[in-house]
Amino acid sequence: MVNQNHRGALVVLGASCFVYVTAETIPVGLLPQIADGLSVSEADVGLLLTSYAVVAALTTIPLTALTMRIPRHLLIAATVAIFAISQLIAAFAPTFLILTLSRLICAVAHGVFWSTIAPVAARLVPPDRAGRATALVFLGNSLAIVLGVPLGTALGQWLGWRVALAVLAVLGAACVAALMIVLPKLPALPRDLAVRAGAQLKASVQIIRSGPVAAVCLITAVLVIGHFAAYTYIAPLVRRDGGLEGIGLSALLLGYGAAGLLGNWIVSRFVDRKPRTLLTMLIGIMVVSLALLIPVLGTAPTVLAALAWGGTFTAIPVILQAAILRVAPDARDAASAVYVVAFQIGIGGGALLGERFVRAEMLAWLPVIAAVLTLVAGLTVLTARRAFPSHVPLPSAV
């Protein structure tokens, strides 16, 4: 069982996830406001996600390897501190270039944060509860979509997008203080394991050669590319489909995230036992919900489809992260780093793909692309039986 101190540590880790995910995706909700405030196009603002993801993808593996000997509790706190500083710079950015550079500062720490946080959560609990611990921490992701993005959007519309970013900086600083108080001391890996894991990170091609690891990363990249191609431009998309903007957009994002929170809770109950069944079911629902966004059906169908989309996609990373830990039990940090790279490739690739279509005035094609890529990922899951078994037995008691 997890003692109360460790439970509190998991909660603070989840809070750190909350601020990171909110900050990374806040341009989605404030896309029109940032574009107007800095005199750039909405397509340009969408590229904030691409540039962030590119830097995170390029730096994750080498920086994770270089930080392998740093105690885990200090490393997590340092990455969140860098986050807070970057948000403060962004809040006062006088130009779009400075705003972009401030986000890139955060992106440098991003990969290390995400490749470290799941293994840290797993170290706080017994092996058979690693998936549940990850799900608890990743509730922060869902809450970011439930509360962070919609409330940040509403705050940005009310007081300005700079105020929203300043609030994120304050929350990040609070998380740093909380981490230093409640997170137990977690030494770095023993030297021999650190050297081995560092070598695996530096030779990431060898990790990818593992069939199950490659399958998880491929499915992750394809799913996330499809999702972010459409999600990055959800503001203009639902404005077209349902006439939603302003408070209506904030309410939709709130419902989107609430559905994700519910999906996350349901998945956390079964993620350690039935990963394949769960993932294929969620992907199927996601394909249908995206397909419903292709025609312009009006406000009610748009809202319902968006809620189903949010409920499924927000829960999917819990299954993927648990899978990457399961298929590489002896190299969790290394495998997590490669997984983070795959996820960032998905975010950056999806945002870039969406930007190309929006700039070409082909906004209506974004749900089509997302649905097709999600379907491809689902078919891949059916062939990846080692990565996503239909049933995972509990480890035998010692």
In tens, the pLDDT along 161-180 reads 999 999 999 999 999 999 98
Residue 397 falls inside a structural domain: no
Q: Which residue has the higher pLDDT, 208 or 42?
A: 42
- Give me 79's structure tokens: 């990455």
Residue 395 falls inside a structural domain: no
Residue 393 falls inside a structural domain: no
How many beta carbons lie within 10 A of that of residue 397, not counting itself?
5
Q: Which residue has the higher pLDDT, 267 or 359?
A: 359
Residue 196 falls inside a structural domain: yes
d(CA 245, CA 55): 31
pLDDT per position as a tens digit, 178-192: 998 888 887 766 665
Residue whose C-alpha is closest to residue 111's, from 172, 165, 167, 65: 65
Q: Given a cut of 90, is residue 361 above it in pLDDT?
A: no
Backbone angles phi, psi at 210, to 5 degrees: -70, 120
Residue 210 falls inside a structural domain: yes
> How many helices and strands in the chain, by DSSP H and E?
18, 0
We report the CATH number of the domain holding residue 150 as 1.20.1250.20
Residue 39 falls inside a structural domain: yes
Residue 112 falls inside a structural domain: yes
Q: Given a cut of 80, is residue 269 above it in pLDDT?
A: no
- Give me 111's structure tokens: 């990969």
pLDDT per position as a tens digit, 319-347: 888 888 787 766 666 777 788 788 888 98
pLDDT per position as a tens digit, 39-76: 888 888 888 888 888 888 888 778 877 787 788 889 99
d(CA 101, CA 337): 23
Number of domains making up the chain? 1
pTM given for the model:
0.73
How many beta carbons lie within 10 A of that of residue 359, not counting itself?
15
Residue 317 falls inside a structural domain: yes
> Percent of the chain scored above 70 by pLDDT?
85
Residue 201 pLDDT: 56
Rounded to 10°, the helix 96-123/316-327 angle is 60
Domain span including residue 331: 4-383
